[in-house]
Structure 1
Amino acid sequence: MSQHPLARLKRYDIESITRYYRFRPWLVFARAVLIVWKFAGFLLGLRADRGHTNPIRRRQRAVQLRHILTDLGPTYIKVGQALSTRPDLVHKDFLEELTRLQDQLPPFPNDIAFAIIEQELERSVSEVYQTISADPVAAASLGQVYKATLHTGEEVAVKVQRPNLLPTLTLDLHLMRWAASWLGPHLPLNLGHDLLLIVDEFGTKLFEEIDYLNEGRNAERFAAYFKGDVSVKVPSIYWRHSSRHVLTLEWINGIKLTDVERVQAAGLDISELVRIGVSSGLRQLLEFGFFHADPHPGNLFATLDGKMAYIDFGMMDQLEQHDKEILIDAVVYAVNKDYDHLTQAFVELGFLAAGTDIQPIVPAIESVLGNVMGESVADFNIKTVTDKFSELMFEYPFRVPGRFALIIRSVVTQEGVALSLDPNFRILEVAYPYVARRLLSDESPELRRRLLEVLFKDGRFQWQRLENLIQIAQIDAGFDLMPTAQLGLQYLLSEEGQFLRRKLLLALTEDDRLHTDEVRRIWNLVKGEIKPDRLWGAALGALATVWPSATALVTAFTPSEQL
């Protein structure tokens, strides 16, 4: 099999791609004619629709766009999926249809797939695998999957990339860059960034996704983060049987999460699966900063022992520490209905440009979230929020930073999967207990500072907020009050906690009265979890950190059976 000159590219290289197609204008022209022909009818239809408000007509046009993107192949399927995360660029009617865009295509012939395996692994198929399925068990836009057995007995999945994929992708990216350079300045879109940069970012991600060695490394990194979590399953990679275009990984015996009947028939706890899925997604975003950016139903399985299994790690992304902290802030602001600070958080995250006058925007955000939040956290729905915000995008100077487009897609998709399992699911019922637990128990100075910001408003201690945090944190089965109490006591006794000690003493005597009722309510919340021996251990642990010598003295006079 002769290798295409561009097949040697291991990363998105603009210069190499441009140089190759500069000397092959007939390829560029033929592809451009096909693309223009496909879109011409759609654009003429949009023009004819001007002035019409018939929702059925708009929906038909959105369906037409989805079919065009599917017909144009892998690059445009990926473009449509990327646009489905950009409410600042695409109107709500089209967004809903683009979210249904699937990358499932007919499989390519087995003899070609097996020839690719042999060329890539430099061994015959029978030497690598003891058995392999006669036909692929799944086929997508970038490759297809076979079920096989190794000679050592392990069941594996074998991903084989489509042949001649790179020439198609590079030609489309070359044309997109050309179109962006000419049309970008004239497009009345709230892009927020130079259109060429958006095309290049898309190209970089696409090249990462088609490098199966990169996918294998992503899977192992993802598994390392969840090493101590027995509820999450990540397939092992068989490196000896893998290459850039062939990936052999552990076969996952499980049930797709959307197959509710099979999940129930297997006797699995649906509510627990939903909790695992949402909490693992939150950990990816807010703890690890390394997240699965394509958690669609085909990539999530329930294993027969009740675990959540992730597959397909081609599309991953990274979230910086600062962004993780601001996202935690945003959740707290939303729940506390602090819309001024929430709007400022949008500026810090890049959804609003620095220097934007946020005063007229605050009431708009309050009108959106105020109606969505309702009277309780349980009424909150991410999909409803994104739909409402997609309308605001065209009225106010909002934009979706590139680094958050995949996050939005990830969160909305996870909520969709959870709702397919449990129609009454509300994401903040899981998300806020997780955030509350992290605020109360995390040792990092950044989260400690954020906890203080939550507990104090205009210099006054917010007793109700502390009560709410403890109540909500207790919803999380993983929350243990005693380590949190030890951390709190440790901080109070430290030099750093001098400010908080003074503030708490003032809070107890604010408005010229002792706040015994507030203290009693909080005590009633926690007294069931406080056992004398554990309380003594927590106190000793705090003292050991602040005053080691004092701890030794206390320990010497403590009965041994109590230690």
Structure 2
Amino acid sequence: MNVSEVKVSVGQHPLSQLRRYDAGVISQYYRYRPWKAIWRMLQIVFSFLGLFLGLQWDSWQHRQEENKYKRAAQLRQTLTRLGPTFIKVGQALSTRPDLIRKDFLDELVKLQDQLPPFPNEIAYDIIEQELDRSVEEIYKQISPQPVAAASLGQVYRARLYSGEEVAVKVQRPNLLPVLTLDLYLMRWAASWMAPWLPLNLGHDLTLIVDEFGIKLFEEIDYLNEARNAEKFATNFRDDPTVKVPAIYWRYTSQRVLTLEWIHGFKLTDVERIREAGLDDDDLIEIGVTSGLRQLLEFGFFHADPHPGNLFAMAPHCDVDGIRERGTQLNAQMAYIDFGMMDQLEESAKETLVDAVVHLINKDYTELASDFVKLGFLTPDVDIRPIIPALEEVLGDVMGKNVRDFNFKTITDRFSELMYEYPFRLPAKFALIIRSLVTQEGLALTLNPDFRIVDVAYPYVAKRLLTGESPELRRRLLEVLFKDGRFQWERLENLITIARTDRKFDLLPTAQLGLQFLLSDEGSYLRRQLLIALTEDDRLHTVEVQRLWHLIKDDLQPSRLFNAAIGALAGISAAGSLTLIPSALTFINKDA
């Protein structure tokens, strides 16, 4: 596609009808209009020059500590003046404590939703143009001023004539000309800087800008955001702890989005959350578990979970979010703003689960291979010298210091490896890491003693034990067997870890396990268990007894009998008959 193919409306910028990010089209347009690029580049350079000179002056005068908050505010104001693209860059940096010092970080967080709004008259004009009706015809009431203003749009609180309370999101005017010019300059700067950076940092730097551009274009398409919200809601339809606002399609267009109003509190508003009687740890568990489900189950994940996009809710609350008397309180977390989403391919999702299994098994050779599959290492890299480095970095993750482990720890350690070994950060995984670090940061706001492992390990253990798919059952076997020997201690650890999740019920897992064991698919496991029970020329009754003492309280006789009947009901008569000859074959072979 070239510029001549982009439809142009009267009085509009030639790129204003570009619906998808296309670096070629953007480059072609600005290549023949160098004065626009030069003028914008001068604006950017002079904007940052003031900040740079201020920092240098503080250094010469030895006043860095005294002026650090002033300079942090200056950085935020500079990014705000430069507009939406740089605000989005600042938002991304606000989630990277490994790159940005704390005083700057605290200011950049304000870029999430503390931005100057644009005039109401312009917002109302956009609503009327997009929906082809007057504001009075569409909304019975609408707030006289926006309740929030972000980098790409602002939000009004309104009420429909049908009575529903809604949020009305209106896009900032003339976004595309600004975004396309900034992205063009960023891409040019990336191509110029790449050769001067270490291989792992400079590699595909332009692709990272392109990924940023793709996501920005997706984010300013409100129809795309509405579809994302409904897909996200469908994924979590069986989870009442996750709330997704309903979309009002009749009042939604490319630049206007009308959705259900959420009554809740930002996750950073700790005082109001506690006043409402919500439990911090419950909210943390919901956030971490929903994040893991997005990555490891659905592959469709929210790539921008900053404090302005996540709300704590208590069901059965009044309009101010306060619990109604006499109602049962169960915490919920509401996700809003589905403009920045991403999809993991099935192969990447499976490799992530493999990486977790290999981490549990301390199999660093296979873990290095997982990094190759995920794109962190190129296929031609010799992984042999990297294996000891992985062991050094991750060796205590499953060891005695496991409670001291969190996601920030692992990102900090890997940032050191990036300089010593040819690791690179695929653009898609930059979004995932940003998402995970942000969610962990929010959790730490609620509970400074929080460790992501306390929720993540039970979730992974529970998924492995339930083994609802052949792939997960295969990975469970990888965990339980090492070098052909059954790892009794690992099974005990998995059960112990999974049971720390209050919602985990061992009985359905036992039923699924028994059903699998009796199936044709479980023939290998049956042989391996018989070997495990008799290996080293002895019956492993001590291990079996220890396992029984661990689980007996969860397996009441009546429930256990019903589970066994349920498991047997799932096996055909023909399948059951195959168990006898296979057992006899094993006995004769052993004899």
1:382–1:427 contact (8 Å) kept in structure 2: yes
Cα distance, 1:345 vs structure 2: 2.5
The match for 1:385 is 410
> What are the Cα deviations for residues 328-358 of structure 1, in whole angstroms up to 9, with x where unaligned?
2333443444444333332332222224333
Local SS of the residue matching 1:317: strand
2:142–2:158 contact (8 Å) kept in structure 1: yes
Q: Which runs of 5+ in 1 are unaligned?
A: 553-563
2:27–2:184 contact (8 Å) kept in structure 1: yes
Bigger mean CA offset, 197-206 vs 56-65: 56-65
Cα distance, 1:139 vs structure 2: 0.6
1:390-539 alignment runs, 5 A limit: 390-539=415-564
- The whole-number CA distance in structure 1 between the counterparts of 2:68 and 2:199 is 21
The match for 1:77 is 87
The match for 1:184 is 194
What amino acid maps onto 2:35 in structure 1?
Answer: W
Task: Summarize the Cα distance change of 1:97–1:502 in structure 2 as closer, same or farther, 3 Å threshold.
Answer: farther
- The whole-number CA distance in structure 1 between the counterparts of 2:302 and 2:539 is 50
What amino acid maps onto 2:278 in structure 1?
Answer: L
1:257–1:297 contact (8 Å) kept in structure 2: yes
Task: Summarize the Cα distance change of 1:358–1:472 in structure 2 as closer, same or farther, 3 Å threshold.
Answer: same
Local SS of the residue matching 1:152: coil
1:66–1:98 contact (8 Å) kept in structure 2: no
Local SS of the residue matching 2:376: coil
The match for 1:559 is none
Cα distance, 1:373 vs structure 2: 6.0
Cα distance, 1:428 vs structure 2: 1.1
Task: Give the counterpart of 1:273 among 269, 283, 302.
Answer: 283
Local SS of the residue matching 2:200: coil
Bigger mean CA offset, 303-312 vs 176-185: 176-185
Structure 1 residue 33 and structure 2 residue 58: aligned? no
Cα distance, 1:167 vs structure 2: 0.7
> What are the Cα deviations for residues 334-391 of structure 1, in whole angstroms up to 9, with x where unaligned?
3444444333332332222224333433333333334566615322211122122222
Task: Summarize the Cα distance change of 1:92–1:7 in structure 2 as closer, same or farther, 3 Å threshold.
Answer: closer
Structure 1 residue 146 and structure 2 residue 171: aligned? no
1:436–1:472 contact (8 Å) kept in structure 2: yes
1:54-93 alignment runs, 5 A limit: 68-82=78-92, 92-93=99-100
- The whole-number CA distance in structure 2 between the counterparts of 1:59 and 1:431 is 37
2:207–2:427 contact (8 Å) kept in structure 1: no
Task: Summarize the Cα distance change of 1:13–1:358 in structure 2 as closer, same or farther, 3 Å threshold.
Answer: closer
TM-score, length basis structure 1: 0.89
What amino acid maps onto 2:294 in structure 1?
Answer: Q
TM-score, length basis structure 2: 0.85
Task: Summarize the Cα distance change of 1:261–1:65 in structure 2 as closer, same or farther, 3 Å threshold.
Answer: closer
Structure 1 residue 296 and structure 2 residue 282: aligned? no
Cα distance, 1:482 vs structure 2: 2.2
Cα distance, 1:200 vs structure 2: 1.9
Task: Summarize the Cα distance change of 1:417–1:401 in structure 2 as closer, same or farther, 3 Å threshold.
Answer: same
1:184–1:195 contact (8 Å) kept in structure 2: yes
Cα distance, 1:47 vs structure 2: 10
Percent identical among aligned pairs is 68
What amino acid maps onto 1:326 in structure 2?
Answer: T
Bigger mean CA offset, 349-358 vs 185-194: 185-194
Cα distance, 1:531 vs structure 2: 2.7
Local SS of the residue matching 2:539: coil
What amino acid maps onto 1:365 in structure 2?
Answer: L
1:285-324 alignment runs, 5 A limit: 285-305=295-315, 306-324=331-349
Local SS of the residue matching 1:497: helix
Cα distance, 1:427 vs structure 2: 0.8
What amino acid maps onto 2:190 in structure 1?
Answer: A
Local SS of the residue matching 1:509: helix
- The whole-number CA distance in structure 2 between the counterparts of 1:478 and 1:14 is 48
Cα distance, 1:528 vs structure 2: 1.2
1:136–1:144 contact (8 Å) kept in structure 2: yes
The match for 2:258 is 248
Task: Summarize the Cα distance change of 1:48–1:347 in structure 2 as closer, same or farther, 3 Å threshold.
Answer: farther
2:312–2:333 contact (8 Å) kept in structure 1: yes
> What are the Cα deviations for residues 122-168 of structure 1, in whole angstroms up to 9, with x where unaligned?
11111111111111111111111110111111111111111111110
Task: Summarize the Cα distance change of 1:312–1:84 in structure 2 as closer, same or farther, 3 Å threshold.
Answer: same
> What are the Cα deviations for residues 468-496 of structure 1, in whole angstroms up to 9, with x where unaligned?
01111111223222222222222222222
- The whole-number CA distance in structure 2 between the counterparts of 1:545 and 1:14 is 55
Task: Give the counterpart of 1:127 among 137, 161, 164.
Answer: 137
Task: Summarize the Cα distance change of 1:192–1:517 in structure 2 as closer, same or farther, 3 Å threshold.
Answer: farther
- The whole-number CA distance in structure 2 between the counterparts of 1:227 and 1:118 is 34
Cα distance, 1:418 vs structure 2: 1.0
Cα distance, 1:8 vs structure 2: 1.4
The match for 1:363 is 388
1:295–1:413 contact (8 Å) kept in structure 2: yes
Structure 1 residue 230 and structure 2 residue 240: aligned? yes
Cα distance, 1:186 vs structure 2: 4.1
Bigger mean CA offset, 534-543 vs 331-340: 331-340
Task: Summarize the Cα distance change of 1:15–1:361 in structure 2 as closer, same or farther, 3 Å threshold.
Answer: closer
What amino acid maps onto 2:297 in structure 1?
Answer: E
Bigger mean CA offset, 23-32 vs 239-248: 23-32
Task: Summarize the Cα distance change of 1:420–1:324 in structure 2 as closer, same or farther, 3 Å threshold.
Answer: same
- The whole-number CA distance in structure 2 between the counterparts of 1:494 and 1:356 is 42
Structure 1 residue 169 and structure 2 residue 179: aligned? yes
Task: Summarize the Cα distance change of 1:134–1:63 in structure 2 as closer, same or farther, 3 Å threshold.
Answer: closer
Structure 1 residue 334 and structure 2 residue 363: aligned? no
Local SS of the residue matching 2:140: strand
The match for 1:203 is 213
The match for 1:239 is 249
- The whole-number CA distance in structure 2 between the counterparts of 1:107 and 1:340 is 53
Cα distance, 1:34 vs structure 2: 1.2
- The whole-number CA distance in structure 1 between the counterparts of 2:55 and 2:396 is 33
What amino acid maps onto 1:8 in structure 2?
Answer: Q
Bigger mean CA offset, 509-518 vs 179-188: 179-188
Task: Summarize the Cα distance change of 1:85–1:130 in structure 2 as closer, same or farther, 3 Å threshold.
Answer: closer
Local SS of the residue matching 1:479: coil
Local SS of the residue matching 2:312: strand
1:256–1:297 contact (8 Å) kept in structure 2: yes
RMSD of the TM alignment (CA)? Answer: 3.0
The alignment of Structure 1 onto Structure 2 pairs a total of residues equal to 547
1:234–1:310 contact (8 Å) kept in structure 2: yes
